[in-house]
Amino acid sequence: MKKYLLLFIIAVFAMSCSKKVEVKGKITGGSPLERIEFIEASGVATLPLINIGVNKDGTFAGSFEAPKSGMYVMSYGGKQNLIYLKGGQKLEISGNGMTFPSEYVITGDAKNNNDFFTATQKYLSNYAQTVNMNELLMKDEKTFLKGIEKVQADVNKNIEENVKKFNPDNEIVTWKKNDLASTLLTIMNQYDMSHKQMGNPSFKVTKAFTDFENKLQENKEVMVKENPYYRQYLLAKMSPDFQKYAQANSVGKKDITTSELFSEYLKKNQKDLSQTAKDYLLAFVMAQSDIHPGTPEKTAEKIKKIIDTDIKDATIKEDLKKIQFAINGFKIGEQAPEAALVKADGKSYNLSENKGKPYMLAFYASWNPYIGEATIPVLKEVVNFYKSKMNFVFINVDDTKDQFVKTSNSLLKGIPGTNVYGDGGLNSDIAKKYGVYGFKLPCFIIVDKDGKIASKPFFNLGDPELVTVLDKQTGLSAPKVNPGVQLQQQGQGMQIDPAAQAAQQANPQPAQTK
């Protein structure tokens, strides 16, 4: 009996600690060509946790593992908004295709927290219209501080009123207050910098000013982990000093990266900064400066080394490695991994079947806006030119096998090559092993005759570098192609530090009014 009781207790504990979030809903007027993504907002260099398709009637459903309770970015149709989620929740979201997710209605476990969040955001939006921040920034310090204190008091009063009304969790209330503090700190830094730039570079704020700054960041270790705006404030605060450091220490170093300089700067000039803050700030700089599709392999290796040696936080380190792999792909010369693939007739397919001949992997999905008119004509030309010397494997990552069959029959009809499906779409074995996300589609990778990776991921079939790789692998010489003939807007659907832009929409700043 005791044994079974113990098992029951373990089962209940496991359920209560579940990180899975189940989400479903309906977007009235929603489009099957649009996708819904959720991304952890407090992380740095985080990738989409899920990419959910929208049915013809606007309904959608999916589930994903939430790394922690907190703010998440919900994106759809090129728009973003913040939503507060906790592991183990079941929620239903509804909205209109014209305004979702800028406006949404939520029911289920997450209702109270997000009703509180929506109410405070609405108040901020209206309140921002009443504050002439440009005028306040020009005032003397005493008047300015008095104005900032009034803003804090007014917004905190509204927060407390909404706490009584909606009874949200303490965590989201703390987040909202810390977010307000980050905004006020940013405005205070603008005040300091603007007065130094008004012909008085020696301008210094008083002790009262710095005391208020310190009071606003009493929870700085929590803020640097959870609030991207606070990280931006810290970076803005140290920006002038870093610029001087970078100029002095980059002379004669042609290939030195921003990440290398900033890592050195943190070690030498920011010794009082906590390691947690250093990790988040360095990760932000790396993600924004040196992790992108055009990064040369030599630079990518430098960044990888910095991640390994200078980032101490295990979660940040893992997130950076994931985003770097998603963007830059495998190292040239690595063995191309096998993955579960299936043909339309149900038979399994192995990439090793191409051994002895180079081949191109082309990842695509029917809902991706760049796979139709922009890509298919160019793809036909590429295949027809190189098909005598290399193979082509078209890998579909639609949500279902039925959709794969329809898509491949319509889009790829008449194009020589092998059509296969990654079961599970973007959650498939092949997508995970090759780091394929929605923002990477369509994506092209070249593998040599020995089954080794021969190129980084390409997103533009007209890229001269891709043509060079194809020529080298086949021994052919393709005619010159206009690089803009098939332009893939790489990265449009991805935010490396998502909360920064989502909050820009969801959290109007008084500094931007009037």
What are the pLDDT tens digits along the chain (514 aa)? 444 444 434 433 333 456 899 999 999 999 998 999 999 999 887 899 999 999 999 999 999 999 999 999 999 999 999 999 998 999 999 999 999 999 999 999 999 999 999 999 999 999 999 999 999 999 999 999 999 999 999 999 999 999 999 999 999 999 999 999 999 999 999 999 998 887 677 789 999 999 999 999 999 999 999 999 999 999 999 999 999 999 999 998 888 999 999 999 999 999 999 999 999 999 999 999 999 888 888 999 999 999 999 999 999 999 999 999 999 999 999 999 999 999 999 999 999 999 999 999 999 999 988 887 778 999 999 999 999 999 999 999 999 999 999 999 999 999 999 999 999 999 999 999 999 999 999 999 999 999 999 999 999 998 999 999 999 999 999 886 554 544 444 434 444 454 444 444 444 333 333 3
Q: What is the pLDDT of residues 285-335, one digit of tens each?
A: 999 999 988 888 899 999 999 999 999 999 999 999 999 999 999 999 999
pLDDT for the residue 177: 97
Residue type, 336: A
DSSP string, 45-95: S---SEEEE--TTSEEEEEEE-SSSEEEEEEETTEEEEEEE-TT-EEEEEE
Residue 62 CA to its chain's centroid (Å): 19
**Position of tokens 């090759």?**
434
Token pair in block for residue 361: 């992997």
* Helices (H), ranges, 329-463: 376-386, 401-411, 429-433
pLDDT for the residue 487: 42
Residue 460 CA to its chain's centroid (Å): 21
pLDDT for the residue 17: 55
pLDDT for the residue 482: 56
Contacts of 91 (CB under 8 A, 6+ apart): 21, 22, 23, 24, 85, 106, 107, 108, 109, 110, 111
pLDDT for the residue 201: 74
pLDDT for the residue 369: 82
Residue 41 CA to residue 218 CA, distance in Å, equals 22
CB 35 within 8 A of CB 54: yes
In whole angstroms, how far apart are CA 459 and each of 391, 463, 466? 19, 8, 9
pLDDT for the residue 276: 96
pLDDT for the residue 371: 84
CA triplet 253, 255, 257: central angle to 5 degrees? 100
Category of 475 on φ-ψ map: left (φ > 0), alpha (ψ -120 to 50) or beta: left
Residue type, 148: I
Q: Tell me 151's DSSP state.
A: H
Q: Tell me 345's DSSP state.
A: T
**How many Cβ atoms from other residues are within 10 Å of residue 156's Cβ?**
14
CB 421 within 8 A of CB 409: no
Structural Rg of the chain based on CA atoms: 26
Cis peptide before 498 (omega within 30 of 0): no
**Position of tokens 């996708």?**
35
